[in-house]
Structure 1
């Protein structure tokens, strides 16, 4: 039995505990999918899968509610795999270990997967809780949302019967989402040349670590440190002066997570070692001063290394460092229409270096297509100036807000009635699948709700227990209030 069994509402928390016990990082969620299909079949529900692996479960209406508009409850199956550097965990084999910490549920050293595991658990709990009244109901669970929205891209028309879709992937209780940003991936690949490290040079690993990380959309406005950008900045300022020979650079693990750590392997002449050590100490003090309120655990470390590979030539070193240092990161523009909402941003998410190439992988988000196009153009220009090959791939549309949405108004009225306060109607600067659902289902009325989750896409992810109860109350009362067709 999980300690989550003591929490209410049940069976939501028990189902979430089971989800945590089955590995399901992006592109490895098939084991969880098969479990859910078997579970739904055993419960007697109609269940089927489409050509990309999405799961659809149908349940007839509660007696007396057969005339209500049919509803789709939607969540995605995968979770973001992020762990602390000192945590031993294989996301493809090891279960997530949730635990209760006061008002929150957290995981031990890893992401929790409340994004979107709580939403998934709530949809499945509705199916098995006979106390929840509802009209004709479908539960749609999509594949591989976090790394490309594969399931949403593959969703075919005429499969869903619902007229209203409730997306459960929002992360702030008391807010109703009616629009979201679109996104596109951008990669710059720079060819590298290498040469032998001169005799007498000493090798070191330079590590920038201890950053909070976070969601590259929902947290992009918080001013958090990006490890790739900070380490590039340090190298750009002193690589030439110290005659640093750059052997390796890698940082970040996911393009949709703000990178928490970055690593460089360097070599310097013996007579420059003391200067390098002094500079590392100065770098750390400078960054701690700049980011004192945001990144209290930031560290810059220098340790002896035994990497015997050749180093980049000065030309390759300078081209790479200058390109990464010049690549913009964070908020590009705030929205004029949706006050307090980021319009366009990008995250320099992953830098991967091999013997003869380095790839810089960014995720661009924008509420408007022209915003995405502007950043693509900017990165393309920068890449070409550096001699890199550039590519924009995997673009997906935003979810255009509809102020006249009947279900949005119904959610607002239901929330007001339940909690005697007005919820915030929001547009989220993150990718929800609703924008992609519009293509096969252009007339479907959609809204997104969820509990309070902080630190998604980082090992600090946690879900607020009381907010899960409020979200469940809202969801079940909303299903009861869906009008007749």
Structure 2
């Protein structure tokens, strides 16, 4: 039996169990979408797959609720595929279900992301569809594709497909907080051309591996001060490359531009007479990092092992690369004045890859203001100009501007207070919800975002708090019942 089988609310956890049994990383959601569609059609629930691949399901109002405003429950189908380097798991083929564990009121997956982001929200919407005893007005469920890797589904959503007046996004990750806005973002790629040279004589080739960091969501966790493996490795290389005469063969780190990198590797050639010095400096740097980050990180490992290689990157490109990586901005750029405690603008040095003739660094900028995003875009353009790299921007998506007079926000706030005896915290989230994109084809939508407490999404430490799922479910059902008449 699954560890979820005894948890309440039973209908929601049963659906999450099903979701965890079907692989569904970004760009590989079709099997899960097809399963949901087949289930719905067997129950007589109308379904539609739009031109981009989103799934829309509809359910009529329960008796006596026909005159209420129509509600769209929205979640995304995909999950972030992150795992520890020693975990044998293929996200496109292997289910998360066998990895599930329950401990101290949390559900997690061993060695991989859990997919509570946004699997719990999706499960809640499907549980509402499946139930016969939940009061609601006209209901639609919108399940989008590829949210984590480019928001393809939200970008491609066409006008005229949805009829609801209220949209409840289920992708928030803190019970007791209700979100009325979110950051926008843009991907940035810096490409540095390199020339290869033969391995110098009397050099040994070794791999430096920086591992063990927590990582996390590049928006929700960016304020925690956790280490970025790409930046920490670049710091070491910039500080010691000239001193030791190191020659770089390869640099790589991170796997997703929206996840804080947990691991990074460099393949370097070191003069044979400096090999012992390098090994000593690696050991010292490991101790330094663990001293600096002991309050926010797991024990960090920085290790060296012999390897092989025949060609190094030219000295000029190596110098410019390490200077760019070490000097480039990263993490929190500015905190919000309008929303105390919320990050306004941030940058994640997400992925570094090495090819034969170039090195690519991928960044994700997030900001609740257009000016903040533009400022960091220009920082990276300037960095590229100084370093002789090409800078390319892509995948820009808008933020969701807060509407303080939102009727659905008022309903959620009052319903929460009625249920739990306290007011929820009305907030803006420093993450990319799809709501801002929905406003273009559906400008009339009145939107709000709620969810349970999820810690460390986009990392193998991801976990969801069981009690908060129950409170989120109570709130969702009570809000559906409280939706006003048209």
State the Cα distance separating 1:280 from its structure 2 match.
0.6
Return the offset for 1:199: 2.3
- The answer on whether the counterparts of 1:332 and 1:345 sit within 8 Å (CA) in structure 2 is yes
Q: 1:127 aligns with which of 122, 126, 129?
A: 129
Distance in 1, matches of 2:257 and 2:310, equals: 27
Taking the aligned partners of 2:176 and 2:134, their CA distance within structure 1 comes to: 21
Q: Distance in 2 between matches of 1:135 and 1:425?
A: 25
Distance 1:108 1:275 in 2: 37
CA distance, structure 2, for counterparts of residue 405 and residue 309 of structure 1: 62
Q: Does 1:241 align with 2:260?
A: no
Q: 1:355 maps to what in 2? A: 356
**Are 1:298 and 2:290 matched, yes or no?**
no
The Cα of 1:56 is off from its aligned counterpart by 0.4
Distance 2:355 2:299 in 1: 29
Aligned-partner Cα distance in 2 for 1:22–1:31: 7
Structure-2 separation of matches of 1:294 and 1:193: 39
Deviations 1:124-175 (A, max 9, x none): 0000111211000000000100011000000111110000000000000010
TM-align CA RMSD: 0.7
User: In the TM superposition, what is the alpha-carbon distance from 1:391 to its structure 2 partner?
Assistant: 0.6
Q: Which residue of 1 aligns with 2:331?
A: 330
Aligned to 2:373: 372
The residue number in structure 2 matching 1:94 is 94
In structure 2, the partner of 1:13 is: 13
> Aligned-pair distance for 1:270?
1.1
SS in structure 2 of the partner of residue 239 of structure 1:
helix
Question: Aligned residue for 1:434?
Answer: 435
- May I ask how many residue pairs the two structures share in their alignment? 484
Q: Could you tell me which runs of 5 or more consecutive residues in structure 1 were left unpaired when the two chains were aligned.
A: none
Which stretch shows the higher mean deviation, 94-103 or 141-150?
94-103
Structure 2 Cα separation of the partners of residues 419 and 327 of structure 1: 45
Residues in 2 aligned to 1:95 and 1:16: alpha-carbon distance in whole angstroms: 12
Q: Is the 8 A contact 1:17 1:98 kept in 2?
A: no
Shift of residue 3 of structure 1? Answer: 2.3
Q: Does 1:179 align with 2:206?
A: no
SS in 1 for 2:5: helix
2:54 is matched with 54
Shift of residue 456 of structure 1? 0.2
Matches within 5 A, 1:388-427: 388-427=389-428
Indicate the residue corresponding to 2:322 in structure 1: 321
> Which residue number in structure 1 is paired with residue 289 of structure 2?
287
CA apart distance, 1:177 = 0.3
State how far apart, in whole Å, the 2-side matches of 1:424 and 1:345 are: 22
- What is the TM-score with the length of structure 2 in the denominator? 0.99
Given that 1:165 and 1:446 are in contact with CA atoms closer than 8 Å, whether structure 2 keeps it comes out as: yes
Bigger shift: residues 224-233 or 294-303: 294-303
TM-score (norm 1): 0.99
